[in-house]
Amino acid sequence: EVQLVESGGGLVQPGRSMKLSCAASGFTFSDYYMAWVRQAPKKGLEWVASISYEGSSTYYGDSVKGRFTISRDNAKSTLYLQMNSLRSEDTATYYCARPPFAYWGQGTLVTVSS
């Protein structure tokens, strides 16, 4: 059974950093691209970033480009999202997903507030 379990969310001040993790199981992690998708409170879904099988290619949404970094550790079957220079508009539930988005984690809430 495919499982994706996010962790690392919480309350953070504007301008600070936070790193999210997503532990994957039930499939061969290195065989799949992986992605982060977020959802601000009471809003729609927004794709954040994707990463290729070995991590050599990464893709970012315009709203996070230059501030967020997606990475992966295939030996640990874990996906990461390093978030720097956080803003209030980054407040959202962050989901780890396996493209083409058949599988999603339960989400982790990031709140950016002073």
Helix, strand, coil fractions of the chain, as percent rounded to 5: 5, 50, 45
Asked if 105 is part of the footprint of other proteins (rule: CB under 8 A), the reply reads: yes
Q: Which two tokens stand for residue 62?
A: 């315009």
Neighbours of 104 (CB within 10 A): 16
Alpha-helical (H) ranges within the chain are none
Q: With CB under 8 A, what is the number of residues at the site for other proteins?
A: 18
User: At its nearest, how many Å lie between other proteins and the CB of residue 11?
Assistant: 19
Report d(CA 31, CA 44) in Å as an integer.
29
Asked if 106 is part of the footprint of other proteins (rule: CB under 8 A), the reply reads: yes
Cα-to-chain-centroid distance, residue 54: 16
Interface with other proteins (CB under 8 A), residue from 12, 35, 86, 92: 35
User: At its nearest, how many Å lie between other proteins and the CB of residue 85?
Assistant: 20
CB nearer other proteins, residue 50 or residue 78: 50
| Contact residues: other proteins, CB under 8 A | 35, 44-47, 50, 59, 61-62, 95, 99-102, 104-107
